[in-house]
Amino acid sequence: MLYNLSRLGYKCNDSFLLCGLCGPLLCLPPVFIPAMDCFKTVIFISAILLPLESLGSDRPNFILLFADDLGFGDLGCYGHPSSITPNLDKLAAEGLRFTDFYATSPVCSPSRASLLTGRYQTRSGVYPGVFYPGSRGGLPLNETTIAEVLKPLGYATALVGKWHLGVGPGGTFLPTRQGFDHYLGVPYSHDQGPCHNLTCFPPDIKCFGFCDLGAVAVPLMANETIKQQPVSFLDLEKAYSDFATGFISSSAKRKQPFFLYYPSHHTHYPQYAGKMAAGASSRGPFGDALMEFDLTVGNLIQALRDSGVDNNTLVFFTADNGPELMRRSRGGNSGLLKCGKGTTYDGGMREPAIARWPRRIKPGVTHELASTLDVLPTIASIAGAALPRVPLDGVDMGDILFRHGPSKRKAMFYYPTDPREKYGVFAVRLGKYKANYYTRGATHSDSTPDQDCHLTAFLKRHDPPLLFDLEADPSENYDLNPARYQDVLQRIRAAKADFEEGMLFGESQVEKGIDPALEPCCTPACTPKPSCCACG
């Protein structure tokens, strides 16, 4: 196998030289460097190239961290004055911090589908809204996840945390059916259970809110088996941390490259935290939950160092959607951005993002446009993996990460929580300009002073679209005069038309409905449900 070594900063050993004759840089003995027919050269050297391992470097490892309902302004490194996030802040100081990074949806399940597949949720059918414990549908098995991209290369794969891409009949859609060797976590959102029984913080303080009181208690699953029901939230983060650090350690000992995906429940409402973080922050329950997540991030980085693989691991952090502002101080903060979760304003979809890889990624800040869609093609490119043979919406971020160069992504398209072909995208960002063709508030963003964010801000079409310069006005307060920006609007219209022409909506998985019999229960034949579903 031939390796593109320059991409990762690798060098040849003393007996070989780098040759760019045939495009990718290859390790060749000096005698073969003189100009030769490229095809014959590649055929010849394919037998003599040393494998990557014998050049002193293993395939790189990947850790993907995904926070829940975290706003653009929630981390210390993004300007929050009282968040205690030293490990994430250090990740940013040692890595590359993004200022213009986007999720594809302002709610959970579709955003996660796009992250794992590199495709808009409209293609996979993960819309409208989110999955529930008894949902019949899930992320279709013919979609290819990052884990499935890496498996053919010998990667160990694990997921710890919140799945929220369906359970289905007999566990059809669980992570273990989607490329992950190991799974420990809650298969959906932790508020999709009887919240009145959920103890969030010691000592025994009940959560606020009226959740799904008729649902089964929230289960903790190990692979496809329910390990505990209801889950002990006070002990959950430690279980996740132990599982994840153990996976890193065991993979490193086997010298097996690994992919670890950690989609946290933090900081989704209702918050919880164990003894190490409860009451420890100055930001209240939200701050405690965020602090607990940050502690786990620190444990993972320490595990990389202890295992000797820190310099060979790309750690990428971002979040699924903006903050749930309806929860007030317990709902997160979108910083300068307008509105939050549930809306296609930037507060609902623009997220903090950090990439760290010692000796590979130079620390700094990038203002280049990027998205969760770009994670799969970037990881595939770095690992040398084949891309799925389907239309992808993501692009390789390598130029941004390794050269602080320009993005291959020129536009971002904003879909609402309930995309429909008749409406198309609600907004388009092209370069620094954003055009809002439709606007609408959301329950998730109620309670803010901005009336545009509220549920009572009903769907409104804008013709011409509202146009904003996001560099000068990230809060989307001052729409530009369309008469003066006809060239910009024309370019945006052309990008929108081209994108929508190539968008084929998949069958909605969420609209397949709900069957209460599919709700995970550790004692399936028990009665009366849901109260009898208890174990561990």
Please state the rounded mean pLDDT for residues 412-426: 97
Does pLDDT of 27 surpass 60? Answer: no
Measured CA to CA in angstroms, residue 289 lies from 37, 160, 328, 417, 494 at distances of 60, 17, 15, 26, 43
What 3-state class would DSSP assign to 433? Answer: strand
Strands 258-263 and 61-67: parallel
pLDDT at 86: 96
Q: Which residues contact 376 (CB under 8 A, 6 or more apart)?
A: 115, 116, 117, 118, 146, 149, 387, 392, 394
Q: What is the band of 201 on the pLDDT scale with cuts at 50, 70, 90?
A: confident
pTM equals 0.88
pLDDT at 199: 56
pLDDT at 168: 96
Q: What is the band of 287 on the pLDDT scale with cuts at 50, 70, 90?
A: very high
Does pLDDT of 36 surpass 70? Answer: no
Q: What is the band of 198 on the pLDDT scale with cuts at 50, 70, 90?
A: low
pLDDT at 20: 38
Please state the rounded mean pLDDT for residues 38-67: 53
Does pLDDT of 3 surpass 70? Answer: no
22 against 469, higher pLDDT? 469
Measured CA to CA in angstroms, residue 185 lies from 191, 290, 434 at distances of 14, 18, 37
Task: Report phi then psi at 234, rounded to 5.
Answer: -70, -25
Does pLDDT of 386 surpass 60? Answer: yes
Active site residues: 108, 164
DSSP 279: T
pLDDT at 4: 39
Share of the chain above pLDDT 90, in %: 82
87 against 45, higher pLDDT? 87
Closest of 251, 179, 191 to residue 215, by C-alpha: 191
Please state the rounded mean pLDDT for residues 317-321: 98
Closest of 155, 229, 302 to residue 523, by C-alpha: 229
pLDDT in tens, 461-510: 999 999 999 999 999 999 999 999 999 999 999 999 999 999 999 999 99
pLDDT at 237: 96
Does pLDDT of 308 surpass 60? Answer: yes
Please state the rounded mean pLDDT for residues 81-110: 97
Please state the rounded mean pLDDT for residues 343-356: 98
Closest of 265, 317, 332 to residue 293, by C-alpha: 265
Least confident range from 8-22, 243-257, 325-339: namely 8-22
pLDDT at 64: 98
Q: Which residues contact 20 (CB under 8 A, 6 or more apart)?
A: 26
pLDDT at 255: 96
Closest of 73, 90, 91 to residue 82, by C-alpha: 73
pLDDT at 213: 74
Instruction: Give DSSP secondary structure letters for 301-357.
Output: HHHHHHTT-GGGEEEEEEESS---GGGGGGS---TTSS--TTSSSHHHHEEEEEEE-
Cite the DSSP H helix spans in 329-458: 346-349, 375-383, 398-403
Q: Which residues contact 437 (CB under 8 A, 6 or more apart)?
A: 424, 425, 426, 427, 428, 461, 462, 463, 465, 496
Please state the rounded mean pLDDT for residues 309-316: 98
What 3-state class would DSSP assign to 190? Answer: coil
pLDDT in tens, 112-170: 999 999 999 999 999 999 999 999 999 999 999 999 999 999 999 999 999 999 999 99
pLDDT at 18: 40
416 against 214, higher pLDDT? 416
pLDDT at 215: 86
Terminal CA-to-CA distance of the chain, rounded, Å?
48
Does pLDDT of 31 surpass 80? Answer: no
Q: What is the band of 209 on the pLDDT scale with cuts at 50, 70, 90?
A: low
* Per-residue H/E/C for 488-517: HHHHHHHHHHHHHHCCCCCCCCHHHCECHH
Q: What is the band of 214 on the pLDDT scale with cuts at 50, 70, 90?
A: confident
pLDDT in tens, 236-269: 999 999 999 999 999 999 999 999 999 999 999 9
CA distance 120 to 373: 7
Does pLDDT of 521 surpass 80? Answer: yes
Q: What is the band of 51 on the pLDDT scale with cuts at 50, 70, 90?
A: very low
CA distance 228 to 205: 21
Where do the DSSP E strands lie in 224-275?
225-228, 258-263
Does pLDDT of 25 surpass 80? Answer: no
Does pLDDT of 104 surpass 70? Answer: yes
Does pLDDT of 184 surpass 50? Answer: yes
Q: What is the band of 212 on the pLDDT scale with cuts at 50, 70, 90?
A: confident
CA distance 389 to 418: 27
CA distance 472 to 519: 48
ω into residue 29 within 30 of 0, thus cis? no
CA distance 456 to 463: 21
Please state the rounded mean pLDDT for residues 416-427: 97
Share of the chain above pLDDT 70, in %: 87
